[in-house]
Structure 1
């Protein structure tokens, strides 16, 4: 194995080389951050690739209340020009743990403090373009807290919905947020909720 092949290998002992980053620059920074990276491909050729590095990570919380009632958020999503149901969620801060970010985002968006919270899944929402992961949690006990909706672009409506109604919306194609769909699936897989 050559030095270059060794630097490009993603896992020791595999023959699946990755790309080597040789430089980068921020090409846009606003509500999101886009970095252009200079990369060397396994065959030695070079190219540039843009990556969304907007947050160190993101979090989302599926809140399940007694009686199989789900707490959702309803927000206008400008890129798709649509009001959608989704989960209390947001970006994590540098130095913040995913669970602390999840508890913070839950209270900021819903006014509820997660008292019993556990991880469901960590996944990449867009592995072809973004570098950050989403840490998905489930909360099964909450206390009253204080919502903080000081960002004018975040007009969050809190919705309490019976699980049967959510499932009917999913079956009808009325849920477009992938994190909510993944949370519903993982809650079933982990035994927290009945099958869809």
Structure 2
């Protein structure tokens, strides 16, 4: 619930502090007490997308190296949206680029903000449960080495409960798929 009676900051200026793979914008703001400060906001993309692909009792995930944490992780296929595309179109594009699949049905699951303290864009989660056709993945970005990983849902649940899964959209999508009846409840490691 958004209560407009709570004090807010007032933007009085902005300038690009850095523009590379990440775009940081320095906002000059007036705080409710009247003081002025600057605040950097990540405005790299207009939005991001991620899709939970369910294929029978398995999920199809991305397996890729993440330099910032220096490890290979399982995550959801997805990425940043372009200014001229819808979240649905971006999710379809990312599935084809990263996993080489074209979903027969793609449904919006939820929208959340991954880092509302520093990033301005929403993350749109989708779910695909109705099958897909195979396409050719796009390997045009050498910094993005993505492999498809098929995993039984029970194994995913075990890895989440063990803390092995660290990708926020994957954890959020799994929990929301259970909460909305798309998937059974999350099972802790060692339970059936």
Q: Please, which runs of 5 or more residues in structure 2 have no aligned partner?
A: 187-192
- Of the three residues 149, 172, 186, the one matched with 2:162 is 172
Report the CA distance between 1:13 and its aligned residue.
Answer: 7.3
Q: How far off its partner does 1:17 sit?
A: 2.3
Distance 1:112 1:69 in 2: 15
How many residues align? The count is 185
Aligned to 2:189: none
1:14 corresponds to 2:10: no
**Separation of aligned partners in 1, 2:40 and 2:149:** 36
- State how far apart, in whole Å, the 1-side matches of 2:23 and 2:109 are: 27
1:93 and 2:79 aligned: no
In structure 2, the residue matched to 1:62 is 52
Structure-1 residue corresponding to 2:68: 79
Counterpart among 131, 140, 143 of residue 120 in structure 2: 131
In the TM superposition, what is the alpha-carbon distance from 1:12 to its structure 2 partner?
9.2
Unaligned runs of 5+ residues in structure 1 are: 1-10
Compute the displacement of 1:83 (Å).
0.4
> How big is the shift at 1:179?
0.7
Deviation at 1:14, TM superposition (A): 3.2
User: Does residue 141 of structure 2 align to residue 151 of structure 1?
Assistant: yes
In 1, the alpha carbon distance for the partners of 2:2 and 2:50 equals: 32
**C-alpha deviation, 1:42, in angstroms:** 1.3
Given the superposition, is the C-alpha separation of residues 12 and 178 from structure 1 closer, same or farther in structure 2, using an over 3 Å criterion?
A: closer
1:189 is matched with: 179
The 3-state SS of whatever aligns with 1:116 is coil
Report the counterpart of residue 113 of structure 1 in structure 2: 102
* 1:33-63 Cα deviation digits (max 9, x unpaired): 0000000111211100000000000000000
Give the TM-score of the pair, scaled to structure 2.
0.93
